[in-house]
Structure 1
Amino acid sequence: MKKYAHNEITLLQYIFLIHGAQVGIGVLSMPRELAEVANTDGWMSLFLGWILAVVASLLIISIMKRYPDCSITDLFPLLLGKWLGKACVLLVAIYCGLASLAVTGNTVAIVNIWILTQTPGYIVVLLLAIPTFYIVRGGLRIIGRYSELVFYLTLWMPIILMSSFKDTHWLHLLPLFKEGWKPIIMATKTTILSFLGFELAFFLYPFLQKKQYASLGIVIANTLSLGVFLSVTIFSYAFFSPDEISEYTWPTLNLWKVIEYRFLERIDIIFLAFYLMILSTTAIPYVYFTVFSTSQLFGKADHRGHLKVLMPLMVILFWVYTPSFADLKKWTEMWSVAGFSVGYLFPLLACVPIWLLNRQARGRKA
């Protein structure tokens, strides 16, 4: 019997889990971050980031195909030995914990600024922790169903955003290649980090029912994320002037402030309320794989015990310490650097020991 057969996910759930992990905090600040480096040519960098993300994703799938019933927590001890492998599993758990902490911290900052200005941060974390606990407790299949549901519930957002097309000035995008290719290539650093989330395929692959479609699924997930990033970035550049866009911390949120209806004025509040669900599809998989990794590290199949420890710890952390914007930026940068190592460097480095093991196995057969 397969090790993870009791918690298998469908191809759609696999796609939406990866897509949800990618489309989170980056959507809100990406137009500004790209404009700071490449002006309004920054949208072109998204295609370069997508290519790199797809290549890295396919490399991950090619590695996992050799060990179809293993997750990354099983793979490390197999390739590196018991103790070094456990040390790497611990690093993976820390990485997932850092990712969930960075997303939660940014979510709290957004809620405190736009909705609950007088509410302490730890109260917001407590309100977020309760549904997160019940979703993560159900396991990966429940998380997959939740990510799929959130995707369908938020399909109305781009349709409503189109109602402000009349206020856009597409001449802001011209001329193309204002300063040549160098700024566009430099801005690719921002885009490849925004595509982080595909590295969860290291965990998701053994849970996938139809593993023959894993490569297709991860390409579709990356392409969906590209579509979201591209539409938001181009629309922001057409709406704001090239100099104005760098003044907003979260330009995407400011776009929604200009949309009004006779029966509804603050549609940006409704948007943000729904966007919290999108942010949760980024944080929840990382929370799950944090406790999944620590449980595997201690040889336990049930992750719920560690989850009961992790969620209160997050609430206590924000109760004791309220991170500033500078702190949140540092957390996000640390997550980005660690994510680059896990998502892009590790697949390249892992090919060497895997190739040596396969060569040794073929030599024994001969």
Structure 2
Amino acid sequence: MREKINPYHIFMLMYMVQSGVGLFSLPRITAEYFGTNGWLAVLVVSFIVCLNIALFYIVYRMGKGRSVFDIMESSVSKFVLFPLYAFVIFVISLTGCLLGKQYILMFQMISFQTTPPYILKLFFEILLYFLLIKGIYNIVKASTVFFYLTSWMPFLMLYHLGEFEWQRLTPFLFQGETSMIQGIIQIMGSLLGYEVSLYLIPYVERNSPFFRAVVLGSLYTSLVYLVVCIVSFGFFGFTMLLHLNFPLFDLFAFIELPFVERFENLLFIFFIFKVLITTIISFWIVQLYLGRIFTKAHPKLLIFMIVLATYIVSNFADTLTKLSRWLHYLFAMHISLNFLIPIVLIILLNIQKRQEVT
């Protein structure tokens, strides 16, 4: 009998896969796109994410534990599905690899200015490969270990409470130049990763509180994001936030310890665990889709193809500005897929149910 994933581990996986380097620029993004008290947008986006997860839950209940692929392929020809599979592979693989490249470029800028980013990215890809070939159960277990290694980091925000001033938040709501649709895409892009719950359905017990753990994990991530944004608004103020590329890193830079110099560099290193899990889960989903196209290919060969192809593509994004522009469009496509796929699955399940009745 195949091992099932415990909801306890799912909760921690949701936090690890959703939180990443996007958190470093999130306070500026909320200020830039939503104006004063833009941190409230995190609550709005968190609600949208919960609605999306609710669609996944409907698929879970209606499909009775069947996988996404079993549902689609029992009603639609594979010949018709392959273009959709190819598009999903393109979007998810590029999103995952560019999020990894974003971390590498930031890491190089902070600690290894003279090291070419493709060298750092190569070591990152090697770690990815050896974790990916271990399978989803070991990936989930690794994410649990990484969760405990990084779970203390949100509590560092307590250090800044002495300099926090409520008047810096201002009494005004969403005032200033705003672009809310673009902002929602950016914030939801920072919370991507929850879609893995749709693909974990065959790996959990049928009547376990699986989706409760998914929702709680996502809400916990949103809470961490909200706290970081509120502290940033109250610590820096709205005007200063607009001029900071990575406000969270600046918050870390204010933390001084007598026995550690440049403590912010050490904290940034811990984020590699979060980025690893985010990218690994993206590649695992891509592996599932590739496995439906290349049914006779060995899983390790598919993983190697994914890692190699995305490594080559990621080298074309050689600056943070170019990478951010690419990610913005990928986020929009990724979010659209997160809503489109469950809606299509619900329609197919309704058709299948009617056919069973007749």
User: What TM-score do you get using the length of structure 2 for normalisation?
Assistant: 0.91
Instruction: Tell me, yes or no, if structure 1 residue 47 matches structure 2 residue 43.
Output: yes
Give deviations 1:74-98, integer Å, cap 9, x for gaps: 3332232221123322222222211
Residues 336 and 191 of structure 1, relative CA distance in 2, 3 Å threshold: same
Residues 322 and 206 of structure 1, relative CA distance in 2, 3 Å threshold: same
Residues 275 and 343 of structure 1, relative CA distance in 2, 3 Å threshold: same
| Residue matched to 1:339 | 334
Structure 2 Cα separation of the partners of residues 201 and 217 of structure 1: 10
Instruction: Quote how far apart the aligned CAs of 1:183 are.
Output: 7.1
| Residue matched to 2:323 | 328
Q: How does 1:23-172 map to 2 (within 5 A)?
A: 23-172=19-168
Instruction: Quote how far apart the aligned CAs of 1:269 are.
Output: 0.7
Structure 2 Cα separation of the partners of residues 177 and 244 of structure 1: 17
| Residue matched to 2:195 | 199
Q: Which residue of 326, 340, 350 corresponds with 1:355?
A: 350
Give deviations 1:53-109, integer Å, cap 9, x for gaps: 111101112113333443323333223222112332222222221121221221111
Contact 1:79 1:85 in 2 (8 A): no
- Please give the secondary structure, in 1, of the residue aligned with 2:237: coil
Runs of 4+ more than 6 Å apart = 182-186
Q: Which residue of 210, 213, 216 corresponds with 1:217?
A: 213
- Please give the secondary structure, in 2, of the residue aligned with 1:79: coil
Amino acid at match of 2:224: V
Structure 1 Cα separation of the partners of residues 82 and 181 of structure 2: 37
- Please give the secondary structure, in 1, of the residue aligned with 2:36: helix
**Percent of aligned pairs with the same residue?**
21
Amino acid at match of 2:82: K
Amino acid at match of 2:198: F
Structure 1: 5+ residue stretches without partners: none
Contact 1:205 1:211 in 2 (8 A): no
| Residue matched to 1:208 | 204
- State the number of aligned residues: 357
Residues 93 and 122 of structure 1, relative CA distance in 2, 3 Å threshold: same
Instruction: Quote how far apart the aligned CAs of 1:190 are.
Output: 3.5
- Please give the secondary structure, in 2, of the residue aligned with 1:179: coil
Instruction: Quote how far apart the aligned CAs of 1:274 are.
Output: 0.5
User: What TM-score do you get using the length of structure 1 for normalisation?
Assistant: 0.90
Amino acid at match of 1:328: L
Give deviations 1:146-184, integer Å, cap 9, x for gaps: 11111111122122332232222221112142639x977
Range 60-69 or range 214-223, more displaced = 60-69
Contact 2:33 2:183 in 1 (8 A): yes
Contact 2:63 2:349 in 1 (8 A): no
Structure 2: 5+ residue stretches without partners: none
Structure 1 Cα separation of the partners of residues 181 and 81 of structure 2: 36
Instruction: Quote how far apart the aligned CAs of 1:30 are.
Output: 1.2
| Residue matched to 2:224 | 228
